[in-house]
């Protein structure tokens, strides 16, 4: 039993390693947004420079649905293991490109174009990376523990957040601000490049899931697209569910360093400490939420925490901006982390259950990618909303809207009672 448990842990680590790299690189872009703006997108107006940087960040999310439609059917046809290796290679190309592109002052307009290409490659890969990982974990899970297993997909992202924030915090202690702005911000990106070979080696040792290997019929691409089209209401409902996850996640993690520094005028070190605390909080709550959803079902948790987000997101941020302190920011961010982690711990596994099995990777990835196109734009949307309204708590409205989307989608997908799924007391939604 101990040997089996050890092998299971190793498999989970191999599967989620690429997820770690994806979020590590994405999060670095948020931490160093102001430095990236000055390096690649210089402008006399700091707001314009930052907005263009956030729009280039968002461009990667526009590529996600394309990646989902291209790579999703490919993975559903050839297998989970081979697909996860392909996504890692594409993601690595984008990471290396961003890390080594010279500045605008050195090569002119080619600099922002190359950075944009790097973001597009990362987005194309990420369009199916998360779906591939979630499906792999759901198919390897032991009976009654699918929620717990799948939750480690999101938990691996939190480790990346903590590591990235810790690196940023240490750089702020070691280097002078001008050194960080000139070249120091690239160091964490170089670290990401050095991680790539290690992750590639451990992913190559993955075995195909038994569930996929046992199938007697593997659908071709045309059949996969036909099934996706037939089940478009399920995909659309999945988009609504994921909206709550992506918006809240990017607000409390990737946006936090910029929000704390440029909006609340706290120090960069303070904002990074809050971000590290959020990552730790998410890491703790996610597996707990996934395990609880195996016991009481997904629906109750999804409804409870979307309602909680609608009622408290804007009031919490309003309280913060009315009296800005490090302690208040920490309290508010940890509260929003609690809401996000519990919702997401039940949502991701629920999405793997509602999508038809023959298009599980493609359907999951498409729904997730379409939602992330908007959720990943939260940095630009929040920055614009604050500038347009003059209300520093305006991102709370955006999170509340996303929570309403999640609530409506949950009620739609679970609108009829059906036979409980194999996962303990979990009721499978009507699809």
Instruction: Yes or no: say if 332 and 395 are a contact pair by the CB < 8 Å rule.
Output: no
CATH number at residue 398: 1.20.1250.20
Domain membership of residue 253 (yes or no) is yes
Task: Identify the band that residue 428 occupies on the pLDDT scale cut at 50, 70 and 90.
Answer: very low
Pick the more confident residue, 252 or 21.
252
159: Cβ contacts below 8 Å, ≥ 6 apart: 20, 279, 283
Domain membership of residue 423 (yes or no) is no
CA 266 to chain centroid, in Å, comes to: 25
Rounded percentage of the chain residues whose pLDDT exceeds 70: 84
Mean pLDDT of 110-135: 81
pTM above 0.95, yes or no: no
* Residue-range definition of the domain harbouring residue 78: 2-203+221-413
Instruction: Yes or no: say if 406 and 243 are a contact pair by the CB < 8 Å rule.
Output: yes
Domain membership of residue 427 (yes or no) is no
Domain membership of residue 429 (yes or no) is no
3 state DSSP class of 203: helix
| Weakest-pLDDT range from 33-47, 67-81, 285-299, 332-346 | 67-81
3 state DSSP class of 327: helix
Rounded percentage of the chain residues whose pLDDT exceeds 90: 24
Domain membership of residue 216 (yes or no) is no
Domain membership of residue 209 (yes or no) is no
Domain membership of residue 16 (yes or no) is yes
Mean pLDDT of 262-268: 84
Torsion sign (Cα): 296, 302, 305, 311: negative
Task: Identify the band that residue 127 occupies on the pLDDT scale cut at 50, 70 and 90.
Answer: confident
Domain membership of residue 422 (yes or no) is no
What's phi and psi for 420, nearest 5 deg?
Answer: -55, 140
Number of domains in the chain: 1
């Amino acid at each position: 039993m101990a040997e089996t448990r050890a092998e299971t842990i190793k498999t989970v680590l191999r599967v989620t390693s690429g997820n770690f790299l994806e979020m590590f690189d994405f999060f670095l872009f948020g931490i160093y947004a102001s430095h990236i703006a000055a390096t690649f997108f210089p402008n006399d107006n700091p707001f314009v420079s930052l907005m263009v940087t956030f729009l280039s960040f968002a461009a990667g999310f526009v590529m996600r649905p394309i990646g989902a439609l291209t790579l999703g059917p490919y993975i559903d046809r050839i297998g989970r293991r081979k697909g996860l290796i392909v996504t890692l290679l594409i993601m690595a190309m984008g990471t290396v490109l961003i890390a080594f592109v010279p500045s605008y002052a050195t090569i002119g307009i080619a600099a922002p174009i190359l950075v944009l290409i790097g973001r597009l490659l990362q987005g194309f890969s990420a369009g199916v990376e998360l779906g591939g990982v979630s499906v792999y974990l759901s198919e390897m899970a032991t009976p009654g523990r699918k929620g717990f297993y799948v939750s480690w997909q999101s938990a691996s992202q939190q480790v990346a957040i903590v590591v990235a924030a810790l690196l940023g915090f240490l750089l702020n202690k070691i280097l002078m601000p001008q050194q960080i702005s000139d070249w120091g911000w690239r160091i964490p990106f170089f670290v990401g490049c050095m991680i790539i070979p290690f992750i590639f080696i451990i992913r190559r040792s993955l075995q195909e899931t038994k569930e996929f290997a046992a199938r007697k019929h593997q659908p071709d691409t045309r059949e996969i697209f036909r099934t996706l089209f037939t089940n478009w209401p399920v995909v659309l409902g999945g988009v609504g569910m994921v909206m709550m996850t992506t918006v809240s996640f990017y607000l409390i993690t990737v946006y936090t360093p910029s929000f704390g520094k440029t909006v609340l005028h706290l120090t960069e070190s303070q904002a990074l400490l809050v971000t590290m605390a959020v990552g730790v909080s998410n890491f703790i709550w996610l597996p707990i939420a996934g395990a609880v959803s195996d016991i009481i079902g997904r629906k109750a948790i999804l409804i409870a925490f979307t309602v909680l987000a609608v009622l408290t997101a804007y009031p919490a941020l309003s309280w913060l901006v009315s009296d800005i302190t490090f302690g208040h920011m920490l309290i508010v961010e940890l509260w929003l982390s609690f809401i996000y982690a519990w919702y997401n711990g039940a949502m991701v596994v629920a999405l793997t259950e509602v999508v038809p099995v023959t298009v599980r990777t493609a359907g999951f990835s498409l729904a997730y990618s379409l939602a992330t196109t908007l959720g990943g734009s939260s940095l630009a949307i929040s920055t614009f909303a604050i500038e347009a309204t003059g209300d520093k708590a305006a991102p709370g409205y955006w999170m509340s809207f996303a929570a309403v989307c999640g609530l409506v989608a949950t009620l739609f997908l679970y609108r009829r009672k059906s036979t409980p799924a194999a996962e303990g007391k979990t009721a499978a939604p009507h699809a």
